[in-house]
Structure 1
Amino acid sequence: MGRFRGVLLATDYDDTLYSTNATISPENRQAIEYFVAEGGKFCISTGRSYINFAIQMEKERLPVNAPVILSNGASIYDFATEESLWLKHLPPLAPRHLAQVCRAFPQVGFEAYHQDEVFTFRANEVTRHHLTRCHLTGVPRAIEAMPVPWIKVILQHPDPGMLQQVQTYVRTQWPEDYDVTFSNPYLLEVTAKGANKGLSVLWVANHLQVKRQDIYCVGNGLNDIPMLQVSALSFAPANSYPAVRAAADVVLPSCDESCVAEMIRQLEARYPATP
């Protein structure tokens, strides 16, 4: 049957499974293959959208055997069947709201994700670095000329303090419309209300008939806290932001020290092998 049968492991991608030098360590890969061979369900939960995570699936030959959570929880996609299982777009008024944000904060730019395209408004150094890292090309466009609907928006500025003000502004203006979380200090991600990693992990668990007490999550970013909160035992790598380490039950070695492999070793104690 396998010692991990009925167990779901959901991991963040960048700076958790994927190291700072843009690789997946042999130790992580071997441990995941062992976890899957022992009946476990391995899920990646990432802020990346389909258009750039599909590149990673091909490049890294990722050993997932569960649906993948994309766009900070706004999308769930099964790469095995090439099927979109769940998708929640930003509300129709999002372009008008984002135009208001940009008037209030004229230094801030953003990326808007629509189907297989990324549109940019007031691209800055953060935008250019992010698109390069994700192997994407952004199309500059006036807000009113961008096609809709959007799956998510990433607000960007090199000053984290400025983005914290933007986060407060969006949450105050439209509290019922958006989830607004940082994926790193320079990227403020906006999804539809209820589209976050925590609720999406629960959706995947229910889809796979995994019990709540058998869900385990690991991540380093503030946007990972919702999924740590639904985990039976939550994990964070040592390179996590302080608030994430505080939210986790267990702090692992860093992403450059094969933290996912260490997590799986710790899960072995919770699921001993049967004779």
Structure 2
Amino acid sequence: MGRFDGVLLMSDFDNTLVFTADALTAGKDVPPLHPKNQAALAEFVAEGGQFGVATGRALAAFMCYVSDLPINVPCVTANGGGLYDFKTQQYLYAVTLPEIAAVHGQEIIDAFPRVAVEAYPNSQHIYVVQRNHVTDQHEVLTQVKCIDEPDLSQVPQPLAKLLFTGFHEDLLAIKDFLTTKPWAEEYELIFSGEHLLEMTSKEASKGAMVTRLADYLGIDMAHVYCAGDEANDMSMLQIAAQGFAPENAIPAVKALDVVPVCHAKDGAIAQVVARLKERYPA
């Protein structure tokens, strides 16, 4: 019996588990998992803990990092659009956008010519319409080359999510634009970064999928812990027995009932594990 038997820890990837902001904004390489995080998670898993990632990234944009992470449970992808088991290489559960979302997404970018949209089927491919500078930077971050298409009608269905990329002021304007549309309530629209605005099914969220994962694993929610830094992490931080937020988290995340830990670039998840050791003494 290990001290962390029956304990589930789910971490956001970008800027929580690994600090990737510089890769997106300055084209730098994505750093490896911080040595402190590596050691702490190895101890957590060795003591019976179950660790996974809940990421806004779709499967294609996360695959290249999995082998370097001490993951031992299925992971949440596409902001709750999917629950993927890397051992069996299949989705346990998926929530996809309705086909009409491609029409609605096209209407949005037609109205905002500086904004690109990345389309994510539940596959190994990412498609882009109206490519911009953020798309180019995002390709460096995800290490996946996007396939250019003239419009969203050419992208394979079903889609896990649409990701609008561009200047923050344009993305804020898109949120306002949606309030004028009768179909706005059909979607979840949430920031995963200053230049990244996610559009998913209303039923898709990290919190809902972490809850589903805990049920699948037979873990009581009283022993589920989550860490995240952005608006798209708030749903899982709120359903966790305790949420954790790195120093670089946005103010709205810090305002939740979360335990603050150090900056993601300094090994925030190692501090999370240290707090869990206090909760579950040997």
**Bin for the TM-score computed over the shorter chain:** over 0.9
Distance in 1 (CA, whole Å) between partners of 2:176 and 2:237 is 23
Where do 5+ consecutive residues of structure 1 fail to align?
A: none
Aligned partners of 1:237 and 1:251 also within 8 Å: yes
Amino acid of the residue matched to residue 42 of structure 1?
Answer: F
Structure 1 residue aligned with 2:238 = 229
Structure 1 residues 9, 172: closer, same or farther in 2, change over 3 A?
farther
| Aligned with 1:108 (options 106, 110, 115) | 115
Structure 2 residue aligned with 1:84 = 91
Structure 1 residue aligned with 2:134 = 126
Query: What percent identity do the matched residue pairs reach?
Result: 36
Distance in 1 (CA, whole Å) between partners of 2:179 and 2:158 is 20
| Aligned with 1:185 (options 181, 188, 194) | 194
Where do 5+ consecutive residues of structure 2 fail to align?
A: 21-29
Distance in 2 (CA, whole Å) between partners of 1:172 and 1:31 is 48
> How far did residue 42 of structure 1 move?
0.4
Cα deviation digits, residues 24-47 of structure 1 (max 9, x gap) = 111111111111111111011111
Distance in 2 (CA, whole Å) between partners of 1:217 and 1:154 is 23
Distance in 2 (CA, whole Å) between partners of 1:30 and 1:157 is 37
Distance in 1 (CA, whole Å) between partners of 2:265 and 2:170 is 30
Aligned partners of 2:114 and 2:132 also within 8 Å: no
Cα deviation digits, residues 74-124 of structure 1 (max 9, x gap) = 011111222210111111101111122123323221111122221111111
Structure 2 residue aligned with 1:99 = 106
Distance in 2 (CA, whole Å) between partners of 1:178 and 1:171 is 11
User: Cα RMSD between the aligned structures?
Assistant: 1.4
Structure 1 residue aligned with 2:174 = 166
Aligned partners of 1:182 and 1:221 also within 8 Å: yes
Cα deviation digits, residues 217-266 of structure 1 (max 9, x gap) = 00111111111011111100001111111124211001111110111111
Structure 1 residue aligned with 2:77 = 70
Distance in 2 (CA, whole Å) between partners of 1:73 and 1:6 is 22
Structure 1 residues 171, 270: closer, same or farther in 2, change over 3 A?
farther
Aligned partners of 2:186 and 2:202 also within 8 Å: yes
Structure 2 residue aligned with 1:10 = 10
Distance in 2 (CA, whole Å) between partners of 1:132 and 1:68 is 22
Cα deviation digits, residues 166-198 of structure 1 (max 9, x gap) = 123335532432111111010001111111111
Q: How many residues align?
A: 270
- Equivalent position SS for 1:110: strand
Amino acid of the residue matched to residue 31 of structure 2?
Answer: A
TM-score (norm 1): 0.94
- Equivalent position SS for 1:107: coil
Structure 1 residues 6, 190: closer, same or farther in 2, change over 3 A?
same
Aligned partners of 1:11 and 1:218 also within 8 Å: yes
